[in-house]
Every structure is written in structure tokens, then in C-alpha cells.
Amino acid sequence: MAHTPSPSAALAGIPAGLQAQGLWTGRRQLFVRFAAEGETATMYTADALAGEIRRGTSRSAYHSISISGRDPLTNVEYICAVFDKSNPAIPVMLDDDGQRPEAIRELEGFVTLAQFTVDGPPAGAPADRLFESLAAASKAGIDQAIVLNVDERTTDAHVLRMIERAHGVSEAASIVVHPAAGVAVDRDRRWSILFERAVALHRDVRLVLRLPPPTGMR
């Protein structure tokens, strides 16, 4: 019988750290980070990465594993091969931009949480694909979170519209709103007023400060 080679992918590392944002902010995770263009990368076969995950999770305590980095779902077959082989006993989180809804179904059975991030104000087709990904995760029985990284371009109307759309897709989704770094949330009533309106639209909406690097990782 011919040997089927193990698939491989370029990773920016498998570091341990604290999650910087989203539903599991501050949780200690083992990060599987796919490399971006120009980023220092190492090629890992699925067998090799599965072995690293087994060793890492047996030697130290982690809340979960984060699949993150540059567009991880371009490597969905590789991801499935890795976690089929490693079978970790802790939860697995996908940290993604939600632009590949067709790949979400493949994650059923080993991803616990699919977290989709919006940086700045949502726009057009990318926002539509994100909500398609949210729907796909819901249908696959995967927990869902949307992370809204608010910046100076993001209005309250943007935030409320995203929350309203998310509620229409999945009432079970968690929505995490991160104000921009340096915003004085303790002296700005904007957030109290915004969240009074937000929770009237959707049950699970949270205001959380991001953990800056190097403590916080993605």
C-alpha cells in the first residue's frame, strides 16, 4: 500500500501565552499560529504538529488551544489532520476573520469555539461572509463569538448594527466589544449608554479590555 504523505503548513510558531482578546481573554493557551507573508516561518507536517501538541499539553497546564495567525482556514484540511491525530483533552478555539464560511463545517467535532474578529467598522461583503461563518458554526454545533475591535472610525451605530445582525443569525453567540487602546472607559459615559442599548438587542454582550503584547497574544 502506498504511503500517503502527511500534509504540511508554514507556522510562525507554537508559543504559550495569554489570549489577548475575545471570549477567552486572559486564558493561558497553546497557540498554533499560521505565518503571514514575510513572517519567519517553520514548516510542520501534520504528524509533527500533532506530536508537539501532545507533548506541550502533557508538560504544562493550558485552558485551551488557539488556532490563529494568517488566514488559518486556507489550511483547513491540514488543521483537521492535525487534530484528528493529536486528539487534545482541552478545548480548541478558532480565532479567525470569518471570511471562509465554506470551511467552518470541516471543524465540527474538534473545535469548541469559533471566534470571528472585526477590526474597525464592518463593511459590505466581508461583514456578510462573517455572518455566514457565524451561521455555519451554529449549524455545526460549535460555540460562537464575535469580537468587535472598536477604533476611531467605528460609530455606536456600527456596533449596534453588528449586534443586531448577530442576534438574527444566532441568539447563542457571545459578542465581545473591545475599545481602542488608551480609551478612558472609566471617564466616558459613551460605553454605559451604548451597552444599555446593546443588551436590549442581544443577551450576551461584553465590554472587555484587550491585553497588550507581549503579555497578550493572538
Domains located in the chain, CATH noted? 8-217 (3.20.20.70)
Query: 48 near 30, Cβ under 8 Å?
Result: no
pLDDT at residue 186 above 80?
no
71: left (phi over 0), alpha (psi -120 to 50) or beta: left
pLDDT at residue 176 above 90?
yes
Query: 177 near 158, Cβ under 8 Å?
Result: no
Cell of residue 119, nine digits: 477590526
pLDDT at residue 39 above 90?
no
- In degrees, rounded to 5, the angle at the alpha carbon of residue 98 between the alpha carbons of residues 143 and 26 is 55
The pTM for the full model equals 0.91
Predicted pLDDT of residue 1 = 46
Query: 96 near 129, Cβ under 8 Å?
Result: no
Predicted pLDDT of residue 187 = 79
Q: How many Å apart are CA 152 and CA 70, to the nearest integer? A: 24
